Amino acid sequence: MNATATTVFVLLFVFVTVLGFFAARWRQGDLAHLHEWGLGGRRFGTLVTWFLLGGDLYTAYTFVAVPALVFGAGATGFFALPYTVLIYPFAFMVFPKLWTVAKRHGYVTAADFVTARHGSRMLGLAVAVTGIVATMPYIALQLVGIEVVIGALGFKTGGFVGDLPLIIAFVILAAYTYTSGLRAPAMIAIVKDLLIYLTIIVAMFVIPGQLGGFGHIFAAVPAKNLLLKPPDAESLNGYSAYATLAVGSALALFLYPHSITALFASSSGNTIRRNTALLPAYSLLLGLLALLGYMALAAGVKDMPEFAPYFKAFGPNFAVPALFLHFFPPWFVGVAFAAIGIGALVPAAIMSIAAANLYTRNIHKEFVNRKLQPSEETKVAKLVSLVVKFGALVFILGLPLTYAIQLQLLGGIWIIQTLPAIVLGLYTRVLEYRGLLVGWAAGIVLGTWMAVSLKLAGSTYTIHLLGMAIPGYAAVWSLVVNLVVAILVSLAVRLAGLAHAEDRTRPEDYLDAVEG
């Protein structure tokens, strides 16, 4: 066991645990109400929202997996950079409008909006269930970051003794999330992001200096890992896959329940706008993180005998921990590993809260007990957040790691199918709720079939068009089918003269998205 690194790691972990419980007193509100417990009272300003969204979108798995993808697959791993640039103009236009409608009507989830806008409880249920199911493996994957650093600190990661640190971490997370709600991850996100920035800035100076500079690093990377395979007469090869991964991921990211929860917690639409202008700073950070994959290749960490057992256990995910263990003193390793570990707790907390909000509002209150009082509503949400965390823990402990990663590939494919109901619903009622439901089902089935046909080993599915093979992200192909089916069924419903559902929102709700 690395005693010094472990001591620093534990001390920082204890510090954020104290912060998590203290957060209940921060910007104090009546936590018996769901909008206070689950949305922080919608009072987070620009700075807090920036840290919360940063902690929410740039997870521990991101900080481990993006360099690992570059380390293992090369240039394809850089698709994460354009997609985090593309997402912010999209979010700037769409989500202040959604926030305004949600604030005026007291909506807590995107499914609340969908139910009211399209007049369909079943469509709201479809959005809610999709959000919960897509989130579960995502929460489980946050444990990957903790599991990797626990193993890197020298602890055994198999059996009950090896699982104990994970269990302890999630019990503590469950306790302060239950007590403080969204305020806990919002406060902890500040510490997490500061640690991440510190770690990456130091790494960018120290590691290249010891490897002979960036010129030497790139020279040491195999040529096939530096560039995408160009198109030819028969296939678009890596170009279309790269482009559709970027576009599809950008469209899906802010549809996840944890993303919308962080947005709804903002104090105004303008707070969201300011954050979409500031958040690209994280894209710069992500680019630097991706370069760690090339640094690991140049350093040859996979061939170092002391790391062989770890690469056997964790695969490319161990590339970043190996770099830090090789190049830094133990005390700084503890800081870096704490940044990754705490980076797992923040999104896991927000995800469990978001899933609990969806179940409480759009399943329990709609279909189990429509007379649920505000205080009862919050109690249900708190209990469900515990169940979600426990379920994620069982998920990761009971299944091999590869299954969790493979199932998470489905998350983006599933959640993007809610885009027509949520995003297009903000701008038009041309798509009728029956068309949206059938389109959603078609997209879910087709996207799942594509992923399963790939044996859940990837998310890039090749279609053949006009004699050309076009590999692309299955989420994009299935979304196109979703939209086509939704349009055709909506037209058929209108031509048949079937009754339209009631829109419980008002036209004026959509006019002023600059409120606050």
Entry pTM: 0.91
Question: Are the beta carbons of 513 and 451 closer than 8 angstroms?
Answer: no
pLDDT digits (tens, 9 = 90+) for 57-93: 777 767 787 888 888 878 877 877 888 888 889 999 9
Cα–Cα distance between 451 and 474 in angstroms, integer?
Answer: 7
Given phi > 0 = left and psi -120 to 50 = alpha, else beta, which region is 228?
beta
Query: What sign does the dihedral 495-497-503-509 (CA atoms) show?
Result: positive
Question: Are the beta carbons of 460 and 491 closer than 8 angstroms?
Answer: no
3-state secondary structure of 418: helix
Assigned token pair, 370: 């429509």
- What amino acid occupies position 394? V
Per-residue pLDDT of the chain (516 residues; tens, 9 = 90+): 788 999 999 999 899 889 888 887 777 777 888 888 998 888 899 889 988 888 777 777 677 878 888 888 788 778 778 888 888 899 999 999 999 999 999 999 999 999 999 999 999 999 999 999 998 878 877 777 788 888 888 887 666 666 777 788 888 888 888 888 899 888 898 888 888 889 989 999 999 999 999 999 999 888 888 887 777 656 666 788 888 988 998 899 899 999 999 999 999 999 999 999 888 888 888 888 889 999 999 999 988 998 888 888 888 888 889 999 999 999 999 999 998 888 888 888 899 999 999 999 999 999 998 888 888 999 999 999 998 888 877 777 776 655 555 666 788 899 999 999 999 999 988 999 999 999 999 999 999 999 889 887 778 898 888 778 888 899 999 999 999 999 999 999 999 988 888 889 988 887 754 444
Q: Which CATH number goes with the domain that contains 239?
A: 1.20.1730.10
Question: Are the beta carbons of 304 and 319 closer than 8 angstroms?
Answer: no
Domain residues for the domain of 321 are 28-410
Residue 227 belongs to some domain of the structure: yes
Instruction: List % helix, strand, coil for the chain (3-state, nearest 5).
Output: 80, 5, 20
Residue 439 belongs to some domain of the structure: no
Assigned token pair, 203: 């790494």
Residue 209 belongs to some domain of the structure: yes
Residue 431 belongs to some domain of the structure: no
Assigned token pair, 431: 């798509």
Closest CA to 109 of 366, 306, 484: 366
Q: Count Cβ atoms below 10 Å from residue 68 Cβ, excluding itself.
A: 23
Residue 11 belongs to some domain of the structure: no
Residue 451 belongs to some domain of the structure: no
Report how many helices (DSSP H) and strands (DSSP E) the chain contains, helices first.
22, 2
Question: Are the beta carbons of 16 and 23 closer than 8 angstroms?
Answer: no
Total of domains in the chain: 1
pLDDT digits (tens, 9 = 90+) for 288-330: 888 999 999 999 998 899 888 888 888 888 888 999 999 999 9
Cα–Cα distance between 18 and 24 in angstroms, integer?
Answer: 11
R_g over Cα of the chain:
23
DSSP 93-152: HHHHHHHHHHHHHT--SHHHHHHHHHT-HHHHHHHHHHHHHHHHHHHHHHHHHHHHHHHH
Largest Cα–Cα distance of the chain, in whole Å?
A: 73
Residue 316 belongs to some domain of the structure: yes
Residue 479 belongs to some domain of the structure: no
CA-CA distances (angstroms) from residue 186 to 101, 136, 168, 206, 477? Answer: 23, 20, 21, 31, 35
